[in-house]
Amino acid sequence: MPLTTFSAIMSAFCMLCYNIPFFQFVTANNDSALWQRLTLIAGLTVVMFAINFWVCYLLLFLTRYVGRILIAFTHIASATGVYFVWVYQTLLDGTMMENFYHTRWSEASTFFSIPMFLWIFFTGVLPAAYVLIQRIDYGSWKRLGITSAIAVGISLVCALTQFNQFLWFGRYDTQLGGLLMPWSYIVNSGRLAAQYYQANREEEPLPDAFLSPVEKPIAVILVIGESARSANFQLYGYSRATNPLLSARSDLHVLPARSCATYTSAAVTAMMQHTSSSTLYEALPNYLFRHGVDVVWRSNNWGEPPVHIDEFLTMRDLRKQYPEADDKHEGVLFAGIKQRIEASDSSRVFIVLHTSTSHGAQYDAQYPNDFQVFRPVCHTVEEGRENLPGLINAYDNSIIYTDYLLNSLIDSLATIHSHNCALIYMSDHGESLGENGLFMHGVPMRIAPREQYEIPCLIWLNNPFIHVRSFEHPVDQQYIYHSVLHLLQMQSPIYESEKDFFENERQTE
């Protein structure tokens, strides 16, 4: 059989046998006009067929029998996967694959049943056997070139015609990705492996710091904002009252700032590294922890570099610790900070709160109802394309909530007499709210619009001996490391005074 015919059979079989739930999901969750839905389904069918065909062709042509074994394996895996999707309504997303790899045999065996084995036998094992025994005429390199060009060309044209569904794909990417066989489990397993590698990556150690004894214990709190852009902060000149509480303070420093990246993990990594480099150096919490600083990291987000400390708390941990706090929103992330600082027996405390307060695509889900000041709101970025004022209302309400959280934290820090306290708030990146037709964030930094990198940076201190420098140029995330070292009075060879928010006594003398 020619490889072209064989690959076409494989691709069609994969679509009919393993991808019906994917198409059911598309039909059930897209409410655009009928003709748009029909072209979407037709486009997806063609792209799915062409890509699976091409990958099968390429794999078999280049690796011959190794490719056959891999394809045979995906038949059995896809048959098993789609069985669980049908029967248990699961998605083969990242979480499910993580569960899968951590499941013990005794747990897994409770799912076994005769219908399951029959289904896997007929739609997985038999096709796999066929893949291994069918004789194939692999053809020439020239045929490979022509076939590849046609398959890739058709896929690109179809993808471009569906560009108007871009936001819809963004909204349902987890579900669509979790149903698309065989890519759901392949891509999500790859991602897990990458995460595992990332978490276990060796850090390049930094030279030791010198910690002089301090007269009064020090506490530094870093609040990492999510998708907060300075354009919508009243403190930065926005015409709406999005910072009613912080604007009334006279003790707050407002710095011009820009982010180093337009997506979370790169921006948070920039904050946690002392220099911009592809090498992973000892991240700030790890460096401080190694020197005996009492370090706490509380996260309602992700994308942190590997953090090796004793007190890394997720929302699940915090809900257990503070059952009375607002556990649907960020309240629980901010709960009990004062008590935590006062209870510390170290002379230096560093607390990071990694928030997700203005994260799309549902801004209005990020704050409690009391903060629905601007109305009406629309619920998703997708709706916001038709109703921009509603989207901006929801986004602005999330900034009002941020204002409340930060102001309450400052009020509570101001009542601490045992420690010199400092609070730094900086967003990870900005956000597009329809300017030039763009939404959300993540445009590569070289071409990113300013809305995606102009971010707020706020500082509050109760230490009269530390002064914030005045900046004409924007500060960026690389300032965090050096400023925190300064606040905690740690003398380190890696410290750079140019990347410090605060005046250095030696400079001012």
CB nearer to Zn ion: give 19 or 227.
Answer: 227
- The yes or no reply on residue 428 touching Zn ion (CB under 5 A) is yes
HSE, side-chain direction, 13 A CA sphere, residue 87: 12
- Shortest distance, CB of residue 194 to Zn ion, whole angstroms? 19
Q: Which residue type is seen at 65?
A: Y
| Residue 464 exposed, middle or buried by CB count within 10 Å (0-12, 13-18, 19+) | exposed
- Shortest distance, CB of residue 167 to Zn ion, whole angstroms? 18
Which of the residues 210 through 239 are near Zn ion (CB under 5 A)?
A: 226
Contact map string, positions 373 to 412, toward Zn ion, x by CB under 5 A: ----------------------------------------
CB nearer to Zn ion: give 17 or 268.
Answer: 268
Distance from C-alpha of 272 to C-alpha of 315, rounded to nearest angstrom: 21
- Shortest distance, CB of residue 178 to Zn ion, whole angstroms? 22
Only one of the segments 19-27, 63-71, 310-318, 425-433 lies at the binding site for Zn ion (rule: CB under 5 A); that segment is 425-433
Per-residue buried b or exposed e for 368-399, using 16+ beta carbons within 10 Å of the residue's own CB? eeebbbbeebbbbbbbbbeeeebbbbbbbbbb
CB nearer to Zn ion: give 364 or 428.
Answer: 428
CB nearer to Zn ion: give 71 or 353.
Answer: 353
Distance from C-alpha of 410 to C-alpha of 421, rounded to nearest angstrom: 9
CB nearer to Zn ion: give 428 or 500.
Answer: 428
* Residue in the structure block whose two tokens are 């570099």: 305
Contact map string, positions 311 to 340, toward Zn ion, x by CB under 5 A: ------------------------------
- Shortest distance, CB of residue 463 to Zn ion, whole angstroms? 30
Only one of the segments 89-97, 404-412, 421-429, 449-457 lies at the binding site for Zn ion (rule: CB under 5 A); that segment is 421-429
- Shortest distance, CB of residue 227 to Zn ion, whole angstroms? 5
Which of the residues 274 through 293 are near Zn ion (CB under 5 A)?
A: none
Q: Do residues 455 and 232 touch, judged by C-beta distance below 8 A?
A: no
- Shortest distance, CB of residue 485 to Zn ion, whole angstroms? 25
Distance from C-alpha of 292 to C-alpha of 272, rounded to nearest angstrom: 18
Q: Closest Cα partner for 400 from 217, 159, 232, 158?
A: 232
Q: Which two tokens stand for residue 196?
A: 């595992």
- Shortest distance, CB of residue 334 to Zn ion, whole angstroms? 18
Q: Do residues 194 and 303 touch, judged by C-beta distance below 8 A?
A: no
Beta bridge partners of 204: 281
Q: What are phi and psi of 211, to 5 degrees?
A: -110, 110
Distance from C-alpha of 302 to C-alpha of 291, rounded to nearest angstrom: 25
Cis omega (within 30 of 0) for bond into 182:
yes
CB nearer to Zn ion: give 45 or 265.
Answer: 265
Cα-Cα-Cα-Cα dihedral sign, residues 424, 498, 443, 435: positive
CB nearer to Zn ion: give 72 or 223.
Answer: 223
- The yes or no reply on residue 264 touching Zn ion (CB under 5 A) is yes
CB nearer to Zn ion: give 61 or 453.
Answer: 453
Q: Closest Cα partner for 186 from 290, 267, 23, 75?
A: 75
Distance from C-alpha of 338 to C-alpha of 347, rounded to nearest angstrom: 15
CB nearer to Zn ion: give 263 or 501.
Answer: 263
CB nearer to Zn ion: give 264 or 398.
Answer: 264
Beta strands across the sheet bearing 420-427: 252-258, 454-461, 420-427, 218-225, 348-354, 294-299, 311-314
CA angle 446, 166, 369 (to 5 degrees): 95
- Shortest distance, CB of residue 139 to Zn ion, whole angstroms? 47
Q: Which two tokens stand for residue 327?
A: 């556990």
Residues binding Zn ion: number (CB under 5 A) = 3
Distance from C-alpha of 395 to C-alpha of 430, rounded to nearest angstrom: 12
CB nearer to Zn ion: give 171 or 486.
Answer: 171
CB nearer to Zn ion: give 442 or 474.
Answer: 442
- Shortest distance, CB of residue 90 to Zn ion, whole angstroms? 28
CA 211 to chain centre: 35
Q: Do residues 65 and 157 touch, judged by C-beta distance below 8 A?
A: no
- Shortest distance, CB of residue 442 to Zn ion, whole angstroms? 9
Q: Which residue is nearest to Zn ion (CB)?
A: 264
- Shortest distance, CB of residue 230 to Zn ion, whole angstroms? 15
- The yes or no reply on residue 431 touching Zn ion (CB under 5 A) is no
Q: What is the DSSP letter of 90?
A: -
Which of the residues 478 through 497 are near Zn ion (CB under 5 A)?
A: none
- Shortest distance, CB of residue 399 to Zn ion, whole angstroms? 15
Interface positions with Zn ion (CB under 5 A): 226, 264, 428
